[in-house]
């Protein structure tokens, strides 16, 4: 038997929000079969799977992946000494003239 965790179990809050969904009958049937197989009620199964997916999506938004070649190029660029950029220096000077720390 496949074991699936209830990812929402650790959340210490009441179930006070209702979410109505329209689904295709074949999708509902598959969800009901799967939830029965793992010993969860359908509502918990759906909420847990959706919550797990949402966490993965949110986490992926804050991660950057590079191939080994791209990482080596990036690391090499970071390790090289910087060069003076006159345009950025000019903008920094303008910023300090326009903005003051109060």
- pLDDT tens column, 42-94: 999 999 999 999 999 999 888 888 999 999 999 999 999 988 899 999 999 99
**Predicted confidence band at 102 (pLDDT cuts at 50, 70, 90)?**
low
Whether residue 90 is contained in a domain is answered as: no
Structural domains counted in the chain: 1
Whether residue 49 is contained in a domain is answered as: yes
At 61, is the secondary structure helix, strand, or coil? coil
- Stated pTM of the model: 0.58
Whether residue 2 is contained in a domain is answered as: no
Whether residue 99 is contained in a domain is answered as: no
Provide the greatest CA pair distance for the chain: 68
Given this model, what pLDDT does residue 96 score?
86
Number of H helices, E strands in the chain: 4, 0
Given this model, what pLDDT does residue 60 score?
87
Given this model, what pLDDT does residue 82 score?
86
Whether residue 68 is contained in a domain is answered as: yes
* Displacement of CA 36 from its chain's centroid (Å): 29
Give the domain range for residue 67.
Answer: 22-80
Whether residue 8 is contained in a domain is answered as: no
Whether residue 56 is contained in a domain is answered as: yes
Whether residue 88 is contained in a domain is answered as: no
């Amino acid at each position: 038997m496949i074991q699936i965790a209830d990812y929402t179990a650790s959340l210490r809050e009441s179930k006070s929000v209702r979410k109505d969904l329209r689904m295709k009958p074949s999708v509902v049937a598959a969800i009901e079969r799967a939830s029965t197989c793992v010993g969860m009620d359908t509502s918990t199964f759906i909420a847990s799977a959706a919550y797990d997916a949402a966490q993965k999506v949110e986490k992926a938004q804050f991660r950057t992946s590079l191939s080994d070649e791209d990482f080596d190029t990036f690391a090499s660029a970071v390790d090289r000494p910087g060069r003076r950029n006159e345009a950025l220096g000019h903008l920094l000077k303008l910023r300090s003239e326009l903005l003051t720390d109060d």
